[in-house]
Amino acid sequence: MEYFALLMFPVLIAIIMMGFHVAFSMMGVALIFGFMTFGDSVIFQFIEKVDSVSSNFILAAIPLFVFMGAMLERAGIAAKLFDAINLWTKHLPGGLSISTMLLCIIFAASAGVVGATEAVVGLLAIPIMLRYGYDKKLISGTICAGGSLGTIIPPSITVIILGPVADVSVGDLFAGMIIPGLLISACYLLYIIFIALRHPEKAPACIAGEESEIKTMREKLHITFFALLPPVLLIFCVLGTIIFGIASPTEAAAIGALASFLLAAFHKTLNRSVLHDVLIRTIKITAMILMIVLGGSMFAGVFIGSGGAMVIEDVLQTPYLGRWGVLLLVLGLAFLAGFFLDWISIVLIFIPIFMPLIVGFGFDPIWFCVLFLIVIQTSYLTPPLAPAIFYLKGIAPPEIKLSDMFRGVIPFIFIHIFILITILSIPEIVTWLPSKIVGF
């Protein structure tokens, strides 16, 4: 019967590939296998899962973070910030790509919503980069990779779900993500600069336009200060309060949501239409995320309860693999799962199964979770089923082909592999900052 549970994964993937929604696919597979294994009593297990998800205090942060990201987008704060960054970089080789990546970094650190970052920045940056003759592969890679930073730069909605499932502190995870997130961001920027210097025709500098467009140093500083102030305040309100123990993730998300509302009012972009759109988007995205969380919880509950997790543990504990072999195999399975499942499903299915095994082998749980996040982020970019590419396809103009997107993300995937190897070799990159700030 334990081996019977292993059939849940191929059945789930087959149903998803047929076009059914991920949440309902997981619920359906859990229901069928649950009845076959436990009979009518599986209904009581599902009721318990509904109660567990609905009463989880940390998950209440999700709608608040979504609201914050949606408000930043609709209130035009991201557009003002992009214009301000462009004042300093647009006349440099690769300046528009640099501006785009910097905006992605700041927006990811402000809101933590992956899809929103890619959509907002893409709509702002793609027309300008095309107008100045930027290479379409570089445009695609920059937008896709920059949008994926919402996974590894705190605050991240992924971590809000990962923390409770892995039984680790969200604050510790946020602290552990900071240095890896900055390393990945720095490597992105260095790659863009390298391409701009090596192949100037792919990332040309913008030619100064009319005299009215030329700003004095005082004007540049004034515009930059007021454009940077909102995201800096949000980063402090959210990330700072969590890491230094001033507020829980949910409380910090509430502060951030309120701050984004007040900032929109301050910029005089808040009206009934904007608020309506933001609330509708928040409801839709939150409902989608929580349905997947519930479906993943049901799926994992049936799989673990029917003994499937024990079978996997027995297989992974074979002496031929060793502790490092098991770690690499788990990360490889998570990467492959990213071709078929979204990041929430991967977290909810894999972490309850593999986390006890990883901790049992003596690996640091925070370090493993950060590695897991980087693998998910890499899978998010990797063709042919990369979600980042299909997000971009939805907003990109027709002249940017799917082949441009596939080829554009490849250098950024190699950057991820380099960072992953570095963190595997030097765990202190992850563990040092949490030990200094949180003291775990």
Distance CA 292, CA 302 (A): 15
pLDDT surpasses 80 at 6: no
CA–CA separation, 258 and 252 (whole Å):
10
Question: 153-157, 192-196, 219-223 — which one is most confidently predicted on average?
Answer: 192-196
Q: What is the pLDDT of residues 44-68, one digit of tens each?
A: 888 888 888 787 777 787 788 788 8
C-beta neighbour count of 51 within 10 angstroms: 10
Report pLDDT for 315. 67
What pLDDT was estimated at residue 375?
Answer: 93
State residue 113's pLDDT score.
Answer: 62
Please check the confidence at residue 373 and state whether its pLDDT lies above 80. Answer: yes
Instruction: State what percent of residues in the chain have pLDDT above 70.
Output: 91
Name, of 235-239, 299-303, 330-334, the range with top average pLDDT: 330-334
**What is residue 189's predicted lDDT score, i.e. its pLDDT?**
94
Assess whether pLDDT exceeds 50 at residue 14: yes
Flag whether pLDDT at 236 surpasses 80: no
- Quick one: pLDDT band at residue 212, thresholds 50, 70, 90? very low
Query: Does pLDDT of 115 surpass 70?
Result: no
Residue 427: what pLDDT? Answer: 94
Contacts of 320 (CB under 8 A, 6+ apart): none
Most confidently predicted of 30-34, 47-51, 239-243, 388-392: 30-34
Q: What is the DSSP string of 266-302?
A: HTT---HHHHHHHHHHHHHHHHHHHHHHHHHHHHHHH
